[in-house]
Amino acid sequence: MSGPVVLDPTTLPSDDNVNPYTFCVELRGSQWFLQKGKMIAYYGSIDFQGIGHGRLDRLVRTSFHSPLHASDWVVAEGSGKMLLADRAFDVNSFDLEDGNLTIRSGNLLAFQPSLALKQSIVPGFLTLIGTGKFVAASNGPVVFMEPPIRVDPQALVGWADCPSPCHHYDHGYMTGVMGGVRALTGLGGVSGEEHQFEFVGAGTVLLQSSEALMAEQAAGAPPQEPGVPGGGGHGGQGAPRLPGQLGDLQRRFGL
C-alpha cells in the first residue's frame, strides 16, 4: 500500500485544488481576501489583517463594499502558499472575467482583490463584480445549470449573469383556505417542495448537490431605508404590524 502524497511548497499547486476539499493559494507579495477561520495551514510569511483599519483602507475602499460582513473577512498578504478549507466541504475556484456573480455569503471562502465584493440586494447573498479568481465551498460538487430553472432554496449556491431570482410557489397546492392551513400547520401533508427560486434569462445557476446549508452568519441588517429589502424599513407597506394582528395569515386569506 502506498502512503499518502506528501506535499511541500515545491509540490503544492499554485492557485489550484490540492484535493477536492482543500485549495492552495500562492501569494507573491499579493493580497487575497478570505473569510475568517478558513485558512488551515501556510508556508512562508503571510500576515493576516482584520479589515477596516489604517493600512488596508485603500484596498478595502476599492474592493470591499459590504461593511456588514467586514468582521468576517481578513486580508492575507505576504509571500508563500496557503491552504484553505471549510468543514470538509467541496472547494472550487472560479474565474470571473468582467462578469458578476452572486453567491450565498457563507459559501464564499476567498477572492482576489481585483474583484469587488458587494452585498447583494437579496439578503444573505454577496455579489462579486470584476475580473479575478474566487474560491467557493459547497456541500457536494457544484452543478451548473442554465435557466429557465426552478431550484430548491437550500440547494442554491449562487448565480451569474441572470438578474431574475424570484420566489416561486406551487400554486395549486398553496392557494385557498385549505392550502393556507396546510402550509402553516403541515396538516394534510406537505411535500416540502412547494417553494422554489425561479431563474429565467441568460446566465448560469450554481447548485450544490445537497441541501445542507452553511451556518448562516449574522451579518447585521442593511440600513433602514424605505425600499431596501430586509432593511427593516416598512417602505410603502402600510401601517406597522400591531401585536395581535394575524399578519401573514390575514393577508393570505385576503382579510
User: What are the cell numbers at 164?
Assistant: 431574475
Nearer to another protein, 19 or 209 (CB): 19
Among 25, 27, 60, 91, binds another protein (CB under 8 A): 91
Q: Which is nearer to another protein, 42 or 199 (CB)?
A: 42
Q: Is 220 in the site for another protein (CB under 8 A)?
A: no
User: Which residues have C-beta within 8 Å of that of residue 37, sequence separation ≥ 6?
Assistant: none
**At CA 216, angle to CA 214 and CA 217, rounded to 5?**
125
Q: Which of 30, 65, 67, 71 binds another protein (CB under 8 A)?
A: 71
Q: Which residue in 133, 82, 134, 78 sits closest to 109, CA to CA?
A: 134
What contacts 73, CB < 8 A, 6 or more positions away? Answer: 33, 34, 35, 36, 51, 64
Q: How far is CA 172 from the centre of its chain?
A: 31
Cα distance between residue 226 and residue 236, in whole Å:
8
Contact between 136 and another protein per CB under 8 A: no
The answer to the question of residue 110 lying near another protein (CB under 8 A) is no
Q: Please give the angle made by the CA atoms of 238, 242 and 246, to the nearest 5 degrees.
A: 90
- Residue 68 in contact with another protein, rule: CB under 8 A: no
Q: How far is CA 84 from CA 17, 33, 111, in A?
A: 9, 12, 12
Residue 239 interacts with another protein (CB under 8 A)? no
- Exactly one of 43, 149, 174, 180 binds another protein (CB under 8 A); which one? 43
Nearer to another protein, 37 or 254 (CB): 37
Q: Does 49 bind another protein (CB under 8 A)?
A: yes
Our CB check for another protein shows the closer of 48 and 173 to be 48
Do the bridges between strand 125-138 and strand 142-145 make them parallel or antiparallel, or are there none, so unpaired? unpaired
Total residues interacting with another protein, rule: CB under 8 A: 35
Q: Is 40 in the site for another protein (CB under 8 A)?
A: yes
Among 22, 114, 204, 217, binds another protein (CB under 8 A): 22
Residues that bind another protein (CB under 8 A): 1, 3-9, 18-19, 21-22, 36-43, 46-50, 52-53, 71, 74, 83, 85-88, 91
